[in-house]
Amino acid sequence: MATLTPAQAAPLQSNLWFVALPAHVRQAIVESSTLVALADGDYSHRKDHVAEGWFGILTGAIKISSTSPEGREAVLAFLEPGNWFGEISLFDGLPRTHDGIAHGPTELLKVAPKEFHALLDDYPELALHFLKLQSSRLRLLFAAMDDVNMLPFDSRLAKQLVNLGRSYGVAEAEGIRINLHLPQEDLAQLLGTSRQRVNALLSEWAKKKWIAVHYGHITLIDNAALKQLGGIPSSA
């Protein structure tokens, strides 16, 4: 059973899916879990392996990615604190679809398969909440596919930066620093393009004072300009 400090529990309370669960179900989930500490680069799970748990992120981040036999990595997403992941293989019994890798020191809640299925048996209403979770993820996937097919590359990059700033942003005097060590290679993989193409556009935006590029970090200076380019409403 995991015992959480207020600081550890706070990210879970920021997750709209989790807080929509009945209070007694949220409590049961935490009581069914154990704490797992990962160092940067450690795996929460590996592609093609049998599922060993369902996870909630307390601190740090999890990079969801896949690596080809030739060693080329494709990054699907960076998951922030408050997110839950890893339930797909527990539902269908098939191997993991991607690797989960700690991006910086990361702390997780882990619900083992036996406890996961016990939760579903004890709290039937949880199944409907999982359906809503999967539906929201499908909507995000369809929106991402639309972006790839319909938006020019500069709009997609601007939108990605704004979204990363929303998830990992820390307000500073210069602007909103994306508090995630994000080399341009990782950013390029998120968008399915080359590092050179990302670097050229970031350099152009830095000259316009839209962003500031530091080693492994990006600060959003003119967030309004990036939102406009990315087609994001100013109120979002």
197 within a domain of the structure (yes/no): yes
Residue 192 has pLDDT above 90, yes or no: no
What is the model's pLDDT at position 67?
86
The CATH number of the domain holding residue 179 is 1.10.10.10
Our count of domains for the chain comes to 2
**pLDDT of 31:** 95
Residues 30 and 133 in one domain: yes
Q: CA dist 112 to 27, 156, 203, Å?
A: 16, 37, 45
Condensed to tens digits (0 to 9), the pLDDT of residues 216-229 reads 789 999 999 999 99
**Is position 236 within any domain?**
no
Of 93, 125, 147, which residue is a domain's last?
Answer: 147
Q: Please say which residue of 93, 113, 147 terminates a domain.
A: 147
Return the structure tokens found at 92: 């269908």
Judgement on whether residues 18 and 130 belong to the same structural domain of the protein: yes
Provide the pLDDT confidence category of residue 234 given band limits of 50, 70 and 90. confident
- Which of 42-46, 181-185, 209-213 has the lowest average pLDDT? 181-185
Residue at token pair 């393009």: 193
Q: Do 130 and 167 lie in a common domain?
A: no
Task: Examine the domain organization and report whether 11 and 115 are in the same domain.
Answer: yes
Contact present, 104 and 58 (Cβ < 8 Å): no
pLDDT confidence of residue 68 = 80
Q: Are residues 60 and 174 in the same domain?
A: no
Read off the pLDDT band of 65 (50, 70, 90).
Answer: very high
CA atoms of 66 and 54, how far apart (whole Å): 19
Token pair belonging to 204: 């152009």
Q: Is residue 23 domain-shared with residue 101, that is, in the same domain?
A: yes
Considering the domain architecture, whether residues 161 and 54 belong to the same structural domain is answered as: no
Q: Is residue 121 part of a domain?
A: yes
* CATH number assigned to the domain comprising residue 72: 2.60.120.10
Query: Does 135 fall in a domain?
Result: yes
Mean pLDDT of 127-151: 92
State which residues form the domain around 161.
Answer: 151-230
Judgement on whether residues 30 and 104 belong to the same structural domain of the protein: yes
pLDDT of residue 109: 97
Q: What are 128's two structure tokens?
A: 């409907």
The pLDDT of residue 164: 92
At which residue do the structure tokens 């929509």 appear?
A: 20
73 and 24 part of one domain: yes
pLDDT in tens, 205-214: 999 999 999 8
Residues 78 and 178 placed together within one structural domain of the fold: no
Checking if the pLDDT of 148 tops 90, the result is no
CB under 8 Å to 109, separation ≥6 — which residues?
2, 29, 30, 33, 34, 35, 36, 55, 56, 58
Q: Which residue has the higher pLDDT, 3 or 222?
A: 222
In this structure, the answer to whether residues 31 and 139 fall within a common structural domain is yes
